[in-house]
């Protein structure tokens, strides 16, 4: 279903989020206090507006509370990021995702009710490090300090075997969520589906279990 998003702050992070959501077919309102940033995003958003994210009246007049998600991507100006988040929650926006600049910024955002706090640089650093240390890992998403989703390249060891034969859940406590093969993706693998060499397995589990599966099962 098409969702409505608003992105406030169109630096590298905010504009990337905005462009990708728009490319995926969603309605995106792009907001920045600087005219040149708004002009740059016009082709990549449904609407783009020059407005200050800390101006309560401006947010109200944009009907901000009707958006499914608002992403606050104001980075350097921590005070504005906090005030904007506070206003959005007070105005009744259901899901507010905020880019945090540091640990103290994060703690304040948690206290005022931000629904999700992201650290793009740290998150990307972790993903790249995971990718570098393992030739089998294609991608890595941290869900919590304990749980992750990884994409692993199927090796000889698991090829030509069905999921029931591999018995990954019982042996390693991990679950295969999907199998990518070329441009196709099977998002509901059945026990009889067979893995082919070069498939990419999308696996969820505890980090220790995923590591064990990667080291011993693949």
Residues contributing to the site for ligand ATP (CB under 6 A):
8-14, 31-34, 37, 52-54, 73-77, 80
**Residue placing its CB nearer to ligand ATP in the complex, 39 or 196:** 39
- Give residue for tokens 């509901």: 188
C-beta of 33 vs 45, nearer to ligand ATP: 33
As measured in angstroms, the least distance from the Cβ of 52 to ligand ATP is 5
Helix axes 103-111, 78-90, angle to 10 degrees: 20
| CB closer to ligand ATP, 78 vs 137 | 78
What is the nearest approach in angstroms of ligand ATP to the Cβ of residue 94? Answer: 21
DSSP 107-175: HHHHHTT-SEEE-HHHHHHHHHHHHHH-SSEEEEEE-SSSEEEEEEE--TTTTT-BHHHHTHHHHHS-E
Considering the complex, what minimum distance in angstroms separates the CB of residue 39 from ligand ATP?
12
CB of 50 to ligand ATP, least distance (A): 9
Q: Residue 6 or residue 166: which is nearer to ligand ATP going by CB?
A: 6
Q: Are 37 and 60 in contact (CB under 8 A)?
A: no
- For the bound state, the minimum distance from the C-beta of residue 79 to ligand ATP, rounded and expressed in Å, comes to 9
| CB closer to ligand ATP, 75 vs 217 | 75
- Rounded CA separation 120/172 (Å): 30
Which of 172, 166, 156, 153 shows the shortest CA–CA distance to 194? Answer: 166
């Amino acid at each position: 279903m098409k969702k409505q998003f608003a992105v406030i702050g169109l630096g590298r992070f905010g504009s990337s989020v905005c462009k990708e959501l728009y490319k995926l077919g969603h309605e995106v309102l792009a907001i920045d206090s600087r005219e040149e940033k708004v002009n740059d995003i016009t082709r990549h958003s449904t609407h783009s507006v020059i407005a200050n994210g800390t101006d309560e009246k401006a947010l109200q007049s944009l009907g901000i509370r009707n958006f499914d998600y608002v992403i606050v991507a104001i980075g350097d100006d921590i005070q504005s990021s906090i005030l904007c988040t506070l206003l959005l929650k007070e105005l009744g926006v259901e899901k507010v995702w905020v880019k945090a600049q540091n640990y103290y910024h994060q703690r304040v955002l948690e206290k005022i009710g931000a629904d999700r706090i992201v650290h793009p640089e740290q998150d990307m650093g972790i993903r790249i490090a995971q990718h570098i240390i393992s030739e089998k890992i294609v991608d890595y998403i941290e869900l919590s300090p304990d749980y992750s989703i990884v994409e692993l390249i199927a090796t000889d060891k698991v090829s030509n075997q069905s999921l029931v034969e591999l018995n990954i859940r019982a042996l390693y406590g991990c679950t295969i969520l999907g199998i990518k093969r070329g441009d196709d993706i099977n998002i509901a693998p059945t026990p009889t589906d067979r893995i082919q060499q070069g498939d990419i397995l999308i696996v969820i589990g505890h980090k220790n279990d995923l590591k064990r599966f990667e080291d011993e099962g693949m």
